[in-house]
Structure 1
Amino acid sequence: MTTIYDIAKKTGFSISTVSKVLNNYTDVGDKTRKIINDAVKEMGYYPSSSARTLSTKKSWTIGVVNVEKLGLEHPFFSGVIESFMKKVEAAGYDLLFVSDKIGNKSQTYLDHFRYRGVDGVIIVCISKDDPYMDMLIESEIPTVLIDIESRKASVVSSDNHYGSELAVNYLASLGHKKIAHISAEERLLAGAHRLEGFMQAMKKNDLHIQDGYIVSGGVFTIEGGKEAMERLLDLSEPPTAVFAAGDLMALGALMAIRERGLDVPNDISLIGFDDLQMIQYTTPALTSIKQDTALIGRTAATILLEQMNNEDEPQQHVSVKVPVSLVERDSCKKLTPVKN
């Protein structure tokens, strides 16, 4: 196995100079850096992770805490993590996904990450009621939150309020007045903000929210959306349009509508939130509010890397809202005004 000593012997540079190049120090000339990197490639050198940790005083690992129940099965979260991973891997970091146990012993997130010696943490859309989240945020470990509300750490999220406003304004422009909302659990930041945005947008459009028109679909699942839509269809006066807080819930709503022998959009207009790739291929193709998962992931990675590389400086927490947009397809219909 090739070692750092072999690289030094081949290139004629000192072991310390080779080490600086391998660890991306900036006080090495470009010519020297190229000679050493060429030798590394030629000789097939792979640095030992333990040696790297000792030399840099870092584990080169970032911890990930992700959403309860649903987790990375949801395309939104997997898209965010994929983008985040590409950014941090380019900087030399690996990801460590955690549970609440080490072996058979229950542990807090903080205990687990201290045990593993991670350099930073990203928390993706866990419940705001999670008892262990504040412990982690208030610790010495640099932390960035995605779709979680906090003044104690940096936060990256979609502009959920505005997304709901886009959805309601669009349906109102088509002549809909009886608009219902399939909400997500309010314990999740995205669910709470999309519900608030829906209610505010209805008020701005002078539209009344009828009794029973806000129904929880749970944690962004197809099953939750289907059950919520069934409750809406059981009302004595069902809505003419439904805004679901997530695309998977919108797909569940579409299933429920069809099972009742009704049609989207001729009987009920339907709009989701996420703009998942799969909804382009449903019949009809679903209108949705598009989230930029790639930008969310990259932004969170950039913020966390800056915090980890400047641990000696006071942490400046930032809150970034990533823009959303309306993607119009075939699931919403313009209503014909009723003539008196």
Structure 2
Amino acid sequence: MVTIYDIAEHAGYSIATVSKALNNKKVSEKAKQKILDAVEELHYTPNSSARTLATNKSWMIGVVFGENLGIGIAHPFFSQVIEGFKKHAELYNYDLLFVSRHMGLGQETYKHLLHRGVDGIVIVQSHGEDEIGKLNHAIPTVYIDRPTNEPGTVYSDNLTGSKLAVNHLVENGHTKIAHIMGEQTTFAGIERAKGFKKAMREQGLPVREEYLVDGGFYSHAGGREAMIRLLSLNDRPTAVYVAGDVMAIAAMKVTKEWGLRVPEDISFVGFDDIKLAKHVDPALTTIRQDKGLIGQQAAIILLDKINTQGSTQNVDKKMVPVSLIKRDSVHRLA
């Protein structure tokens, strides 16, 4: 097995210089390049235990993940966010340690991560109580989709997303617009509903109570049940803004089952732009979240906190822009 001593001998530098170069510490560009060339030529792979001893780091980041649909990391939004986080963390040789979702965000989870010696924690959970955030702990932490008072949180511009959705429907002649809300204990659900009401007021349109329906935790069943309630009204909406694509796809399906046409009878706008959105019939107009960028920004913030021993105070909330993706689920009224 190739060791750091072999690299030093091959490159013609001391072990101390090689160690500095491999840990991104200050050495001359000439030395760094020769050492990296030697690493490549000899196919050197650093020993994780030795690297931990040399740097006083575990090179592991704990991932606390939770969602209410029971599908885990296959969740269409969070899986892409985590992939964006992972890609950036891997550039700096970090591994991810996933904590069982059954552990939640309590003190036991923090103790478990402390025992495993992780260098940082990323919390991807937009609902429920956050006991970790209440602890006076020393592990750098970043939150995704869950703004807190702690420095370091990344989320989408949900308010602007709702405004884009409502404005697009109004531009196409719709005034009777309903909203299938996301679970109102989640940050995203609350913000998107708030944005919907604000956008409707700005357009001079009434927010009718019967047009506000809670779809729950962004599930197919939740979207279906919420849409049945809207379809059962005597005065149905001509358009529905749905707080999540999975719910929107379910709502479109049940609308067609009731013998109505989509979008000619009822138009739909979703939120997320999951991969399936462009493959349904009709293709779903939706608000795109940049899921990869959310993950990347969270990783940048967390690594900065790790490298500054958690003392970074200028990192507060990072709001990632959203965009309207026009497809075929919105009909222009005459």
What TM-score comes out, normalization by structure 2 length? Answer: 0.93
Tell me the residue number matched to 2:89.
Answer: 88
Unaligned runs of 5+ in 2: none
Tell me the residue number matched to 1:22.
Answer: 22
- Percent sequence identity is 50
Distance 1:277 1:131, change over 3 A: closer
Q: Which moved more, 1:68-77 or 1:294-303?
A: 68-77
Alignment partner of 1:62 is 2:72? no
Tell me the residue number matched to 1:78.
Answer: 79
CA shift at 1:274, angstroms? 1.1
Distance 1:101 1:56, change over 3 A: farther
1:120-199, aligned counterparts within 5 Å? 120-127=120-127, 129-135=128-134, 138-199=136-197
1:217-236, aligned counterparts within 5 Å? 217-236=215-234
Q: Would the aligned equivalents of 1:100 and 1:109 in 2 still touch at CA under 8 Å?
A: no
Q: Would the aligned equivalents of 2:147 and 2:154 in 1 still touch at CA under 8 Å?
A: no
Distance 1:320 1:314, change over 3 A: closer
How many matched pairs? 330
Q: Would the aligned equivalents of 2:66 and 2:101 in 1 still touch at CA under 8 Å?
A: no
Distance 1:325 1:68, change over 3 A: same
Deviations 1:149-193 (A, max 9, x none): 212231211110111111111112222222111111122111110
Tell me the residue number matched to 1:325.
Answer: 323
Give the partner amino acid of 1:63: G
Hey, what's the Cα distance between the residues in 1 that align with 2:208 and 2:34? 72
Hey, what's the Cα distance between the residues in 1 that align with 2:240 and 2:101? 37
Tell me the residue number matched to 1:34.
Answer: 33
Hey, what's the Cα distance between the residues in 2 that align with 1:133 and 1:231? 38
Distance 1:212 1:133, change over 3 A: farther
Hey, what's the Cα distance between the residues in 2 that align with 1:274 and 1:131? 24
Hey, what's the Cα distance between the residues in 1 that align with 2:63 and 2:170? 40
Hey, what's the Cα distance between the residues in 2 that align with 1:29 and 1:74? 46
What TM-score comes out, normalization by structure 1 length? Answer: 0.91
Point out 4+ residue stretches in structure 1 off by more than 4 angstroms: none
CA shift at 1:131, angstroms? 4.2
Q: Would the aligned equivalents of 1:65 and 1:122 in 2 still touch at CA under 8 Å?
A: yes
Give the partner amino acid of 1:330: D
Tell me the residue number matched to 1:108.
Answer: 108
Give the partner amino acid of 1:327: I
Give the partner amino acid of 1:48: N
Hey, what's the Cα distance between the residues in 2 that align with 1:233 and 1:267? 11
CA RMSD of aligned residues (A): 1.9
Hey, what's the Cα distance between the residues in 1 that align with 2:224 and 2:231? 11
Q: 2:207 aligns with which of 187, 206, 209?
A: 209
Hey, what's the Cα distance between the residues in 2 that align with 1:304 and 1:149? 15
1:242-261, aligned counterparts within 5 Å? 242-261=240-259
Q: Would the aligned equivalents of 1:184 and 1:192 in 2 still touch at CA under 8 Å?
A: yes
Q: Which moved more, 1:245-254 or 1:140-149?
A: 140-149
CA shift at 1:101, angstroms? 6.8
Unaligned runs of 5+ in 1: none
Hey, what's the Cα distance between the residues in 2 that align with 1:265 and 1:239? 12
Give the partner amino acid of 1:19: S
